[in-house]
Amino acid sequence: MAVIRDVMPAFELVQPTSAAEAQKILEQNGSDALILAGGMDSFDWLKDRIKRPKIVVDLSGIDELKGVRTVADGIEIGAMTTLTEIVNNETIKQKYGLLAQAAELVASPQIRNQGTIGGNVSQDARCWYYRAGWPCYRAGGNICYADDPDGRNREHAILLADRCVAVNPSDSAPALIALDAKVVMRTPKGERVVDAEDYFIGPEIDITRLHILQPGDLLTAIRIPATWANTKFYFEKIRDRNVWDFPLLNIASAMVVSGGTIERIRIAVNAVAARPLRLKAVEDAVRGKAPNAETGVMAGKLAVRWAVPLQFNGYKIPLMRNLVKRAIGGVEEAVWAA
Amino acid sequence: MTGEKSPTAVSRRTFIKGVIAGGAAVASANYLFRASTLLGQTPVAAVSERLIAITVNGQQRRVDVMKQETLAWTLRYKLGLTGTKLGCDRAECGSCTVLVDDVPHYSCSMLTHTVRNKKILTVEGLAAADGTLHPVQQGIIDEQGFQCAFCMSGFIMSAVGFLKANPNPTRAELAHGVSGNLCRCQDYDKILTSLMRGAENMRRGTSV
Ligand SMILES: Cc1cc2nc3c(=O)[nH]c(=O)nc-3n(C[C@@H](O)[C@@H](O)[C@H](O)COP(=O)(O)OP(=O)(O)OC[C@H]3O[C@@H](n4cnc5c(N)ncnc54)[C@H](O)[C@@H]3O)c2cc1C
Ligand code: SF4
Ligand code: FES
Ligand code: FES
């Protein structure tokens, strides 16, 4: 449990009022600067004295980063839009309900009232060795404490691990990937737009970060195209407690069924690897098939084909298999023996 | 971004220019704790910004706030409003909940400097000027909702914030509304009963 210490160590606080100004300050200060959105991830690092930025750039005064706008092809969500605003937004509820469902399952009401979508997709890993400041691979060292005979790794990765076995803990990330969202950034070289699935990276690319943002970059918005609006959505999150807890596993899918078969589908899971995973092989395998239990079983098996459990997280394999099955074949009513 | 061109905004801009020109930020620990450096530094935003006015329970309060100070800290240790409790200091318990522009937030997990232009409401600000309790407070007295009550002010503020937006909730909806608050005495059933009574009091526009 966290220890309550004195106030956080001192830092300089700047409060720009435009994205251009913010990006400039970030560029000038490089890795000395920390971006503060809602702070729900950042304050732990500061309070525990593990991250010691010289300058904190508070984005809360930048109105152009807030709110949901309708654009020609879909919607654009400002990076500083809170998760509560996403849950309550009429357009998102009606057309992109998958994201509203995911956002509603994050943490607690107060955290959703303050946590932003930009922060949710950019949050750091929750592996407790790393969060406690242990000098592991992710922290720039050369050991993993979780992937060790004595390591506590019940929440850790079953897929694509490479030295570090931490997972991406975001609930919104798989929903954004399923909706084929784009992440918009303002970088020293100008605007950059990437597919949501390419925003996240694993240890093979950079073991110290979960996403592609470099010092000096600012995430400004998330765009969701109309392509998957009002399709058949499925979101499920498995966690220990119904409030506060991060996903042990979550799944998001968007599917179009026509003439009794799956015409197109996007499906993604999180909390199984260092980045949220789009299940491309599953998408290809189920296209043209009926969205029923049989297809679901086949898809579930395929999804976990390369999974490798650690000592305490083997349960994630059947869990992932079953969530994929449900997303595609529907949820069966539980049958209780008399 | 329109209006917000207060003197603080002006000094903030001047300060940002200073930061951009200087490349790196000034080492703040020095001016915070050592008078000599404080005098020697080009002060711009640093000093003028520390003395700020925040609106708490309908009053403008002038207060000296460090850059890294949380709202819970300012309320409790600078303004003496100790009704707001600190349980975990980590956004994990809810005992520090206050309303910021009518919305429940964990005051342990926000910087006071980010709420300069907002309205803060703490448990001390709920009762009427003549001492009449808020309907939710009265509901708690009626139903004897809490045991040790350490978690109480946080629950009250969450409930008041939730009820402003949802005046007529079912028990399950209210439970969801206050689900960001923990009670170590595990008194949830009675807490919910008293908050439901509070909601009823609010709808009747009465505290008795
Ligand atoms: C108790 C607790 C429980 C939680 N449970 C969940 C959960 O169940 N599911 C879940 O998904 N999350 C959970 N979270 C994580 C929570 O931090 C996020 O959900 C929240 O959305 C983060 O947003 P923020 O605005 O507060 O981020 P911040 O803490 O402000 O930022 C997070 C990171 O992103 C960077 N960043 C933020 N905005 C930008 C931007 N615009 N451009 C560039 N970089 C940026 C910051 O520098 C920082 O590194 C939980 C957090 C806590 C404390
Ligand atoms: S799983 Fe990653 S973050 Fe955790 S101890 Fe191992 S290297 Fe560090
Ligand atoms: S003290 Fe703020 S949530 Fe626990
Ligand atoms: S009554 Fe004791 S913590 Fe809630």
Q: Angle formed by the axes of helices B152-165 and B135-143, to 10°?
A: 130
* Ligand 1 centroid from CA A230, angstroms: 27
Percentage of residues in chain B with pLDDT exceeding 90?
73
* pLDDT for the residue numbered A6: 81
The pLDDT tens digits for A214-234 are: 999 999 999 999 999 999 999
From A171, A311, A152, select the one nearest A247 (Cα to Cα): A171
Smallest Cβ–Cβ distance between B68 and the set A10, A44, A60 belongs to A10
| Residue A15 φ/ψ, nearest 5 degrees | -130, 75
CA distance A162 to chain B (A): 30
Contact predicate B72/B56, CB 8 Å: no
The pLDDT tens digits for A19-72 are: 999 999 999 999 999 999 999 999 999 999 999 999 999 999 999 999 999 999
CA distance A83 to chain B (A): 13
* pLDDT for the residue numbered B25: 38
Q: CB distance B86–A15 less than 8 Å?
A: no
Contact predicate B158/B94, CB 8 Å: yes
Q: Looking at the complex, does the CB of residue B184 fall below 8 Å from at least one CB of chain A?
A: no
Q: List the beta bridge partners of residue A69.
A: A76
Ligand nearest to the Cα of A203, by number: 2
Mean pLDDT of B108-120: 96
- Global pTM reads 0.91
Q: Which atom of ligand 3 is nearest to the CA of A110?
A: 3
Rounded Cα gap, residues A71 and A164, in angstroms: 39
* Ligand 3 centroid from CA A107, angstroms: 13
Half-sphere exposure of A66 (CA within 13 A, CB side): 15
**Does the CA dihedral A298-A303-A305-A308 come out positive or negative?**
negative
- Categorize the per-residue pLDDT at B37 as very low, low, confident or very high, splitting at 50, 70 and 90: very low
Element (H, E) at B30: helix B28-33
Chain B contact set for A32 (CB, 8 A):
24-25
- Categorize the per-residue pLDDT at B14 as very low, low, confident or very high, splitting at 50, 70 and 90: very low
The pLDDT tens digits for A255-265 are: 999 999 999 99
Q: Which of residues 123-152 of B touch A (CB under 8 A)?
A: none
* Ligand 1 centroid from CA A112, angstroms: 10
* pLDDT at B22 exceeding the cut of 80: no
* Ligand 2 centroid from CA A277, angstroms: 19
Domain residue limits, chain A: 12-62
* pLDDT for the residue numbered B205: 84
**Residue A273 has what DSSP assignment?**
S
**Does the CA dihedral B30-B32-B35-B38 come out positive or negative?**
positive
Alpha helices in chain A (DSSP H): 19-29, 42-47, 83-88, 90-95, 97-104, 109-114, 117-122, 128-131, 172-178, 196-199, 280-286, 293-303, 316-329
From A109, A116, A131, select the one nearest A243 (Cα to Cα): A109
* pLDDT for the residue numbered A1: 54
- A–B: how many Cβ contacts below 8 A? 139
Smallest Cβ–Cβ distance between A12 and the set B9, B26, B162 belongs to B26
Q: CB distance B28–A36 less than 8 Å?
A: no
* pLDDT for the residue numbered B28: 40
The pLDDT tens digits for A156-208 are: 999 999 999 999 999 999 999 999 999 999 999 999 999 999 999 999 999 99
Ligand nearest to the Cα of A244, by number: 1
Mean pLDDT of B196-206: 92
Q: Looking at the complex, does the CB of residue B44 fall below 8 Å from at least one CB of chain A?
A: no
Tell me what the pLDDT averaged over chain B comes to. Answer: 82
Rounded Cα gap, residues B52 and B60, in angstroms: 10
Pair type for strands A277-278 and A261-270: antiparallel
Contact predicate A114/A40, CB 8 Å: yes
Element (H, E) at B172: helix B171-177
- Phi/psi class of residue B205: alpha, beta or left (left: φ > 0; alpha: ψ in -120 to 50)? left
Architecture of domain A12-62: 2-Layer Sandwich (3.30)
Contact predicate B120/B72, CB 8 Å: no
Q: Where are the beta strands (DSSP E) in chain B?
A: 51-56, 59-64, 97-100, 103-106, 119-121
Rounded Cα gap, residues A194 and A181, in angstroms: 9
Rounded Cα gap, residues A326 and A303, in angstroms: 13
CA distance B138 to chain A (A): 24
* pLDDT for the residue numbered B40: 37
Rounded Cα gap, residues A243 and A143, in angstroms: 32
Percentage of residues in chain B with pLDDT exceeding 70?
75
| Lowest pLDDT segment from A77-81, B36-40, B78-82, B111-115 | B36-40
User: Between residues A220 and B32, which one has the greater pLDDT?
Assistant: A220
Binding site membership of B156 for ligand 4 (Cβ less than 6 Å) = no
Please state the ipTM of this predicted complex: 0.95
Binding site membership of A145 for ligand 2 (Cβ less than 6 Å) = yes
Rounded Cα gap, residues A96 and B10, in angstroms: 40
In three-state secondary structure terms, A320 is helix
Q: Which residue out of B70, B71, B75, B96 has the highest number of ligand 3 atoms within 8 Å of its CB and is therefore the one to mutate? A: B96
Tell me what the pLDDT averaged over chain A comes to. Answer: 96
The pLDDT tens digits for A295-332 are: 999 999 999 999 999 999 999 999 999 999 999 999 87
* pLDDT at B12 exceeding the cut of 60: no
